[in-house]
C-alpha cells in the first residue's frame, strides 16, 4: 500500500505540476494580453491628445480664434503700411514736382542773370559820350536826354536786380528747406 500511495502522490504531484505549468502558461498569456491592451490604451490616449490638439485649431477651437485675431491684426497692419507707403509716394511725387518747378525757376533766374551780365556796364555807357561836347543848347538837351534814359535804364536794372535777388534768396531758402 505504501507503494500505491507513493504512486498516487507522484501522480498527484505530476498532475499538480502539470496544472502549475498550464497555470504559468495561462498567466504568461494573460500578461501578454494585458500588455497588448495597455499598448492599445496608450495608443488611444496619444490619439486622443493629438485629436484634442487638432480640435483646438478646428472650426470652434479656442486657438483658432486667437490665430484669426492675430491674422486680422497683421492684415490691418499690412493695410496701414500700404496706406503709409502710398502717402509717402504721393509726398515724394509732390516734392519732386515742386523741386522741378524750383529748378526750372532757378534756371530762368540764372539765364536772366547771364543776360543781365552781358548788358553794357555804366562805364561802357559813359564811354560813348564825346569828349568834345559843345555847350550848345542842343548838345545839352541831347546830353540831358541821354542821362535821363541812362538813369531810367539804371533804375530798371536796380529794380530788376533787387527783385531777382529777393527771388534768389527765396529760392535758396526753399532749397535749404527741401534738403
Largest Cα span, the chain: 192
Tell me the CB-side half-sphere exposure of residue 178, using CA atoms within 13 A: 18
Better pLDDT: 158 or 1: 158
- Give the pLDDT band (50/70/90) at residue 59: low
pLDDT, position 48 = 92
Read off the pTM. Answer: 0.35
The residue-averaged pLDDT of 15-31 equals: 82
Whole-angstrom Cα distance, residue 135 to residue 132?
10
The pLDDT of 115-130, averaged and rounded, is: 58
All three cell numbers of 177: 528747406
Instruction: Check whether 123 has a pLDDT greater than 60.
Output: no
Query: pLDDT per residue over 60-93, tens digit each?
Result: 767 777 888 899 999 999 999 999 989 989 888 8
CA neighbor of 174 nearest in space, from 104, 124, 127, 114: 104
pLDDT for 92-112, tens place per residue? 888 888 888 888 888 887 777
The reported pLDDT for the residue numbered 39 is 94
Domain boundaries, the chain: 119-179
For the chain, what is the mean pLDDT?
A: 79
**pLDDT of 16 higher than 70:** yes
Amino acid at each position: 500500500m505504501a507503494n500505491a500511495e507513493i504512486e498516487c502522490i507522484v501522480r498527484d504531484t505530476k498532475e499538480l505540476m502539470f496544472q502549475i505549468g498550464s497555470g504559468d502558461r495561462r498567466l504568461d498569456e494573460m500578461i501578454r494580453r494585458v500588455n497588448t491592451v495597455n499598448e492599445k490604451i496608450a495608443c488611444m490616449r496619444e490619439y486622443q491628445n493629438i485629436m484634442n490638439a487638432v480640435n483646438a485649431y478646428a472650426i470652434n477651437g479656442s486657438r483658432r480664434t486667437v490665430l484669426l485675431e492675430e491674422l486680422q491684426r497683421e492684415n490691418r497692419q499690412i493695410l496701414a503700411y500700404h496706406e503709409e507707403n502710398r502717402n509717402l509716394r504721393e509726398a515724394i511725387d509732390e516734392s519732386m514736382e515742386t523741386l522741378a518747378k524750383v529748378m526750372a525757376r532757378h534756371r530762368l533766374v540764372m539765364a536772366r542773370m547771364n543776360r543781365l551780365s552781358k548788358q553794357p556796364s555804366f562805364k561802357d555807357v559813359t564811354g560813348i559820350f564825346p569828349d568834345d561836347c559843345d555847350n550848345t543848347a542842343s548838345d545839352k538837351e541831347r546830353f540831358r536826354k541821354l542821362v535821363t534814359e541812362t538813369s531810367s535804364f539804371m533804375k530798371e536794372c536796380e529794380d530788376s536786380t533787387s527783385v531777382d535777388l529777393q527771388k534768389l534768396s527765396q529760392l535758396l531758402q526753399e532749397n535749404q528747406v527741401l534738403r
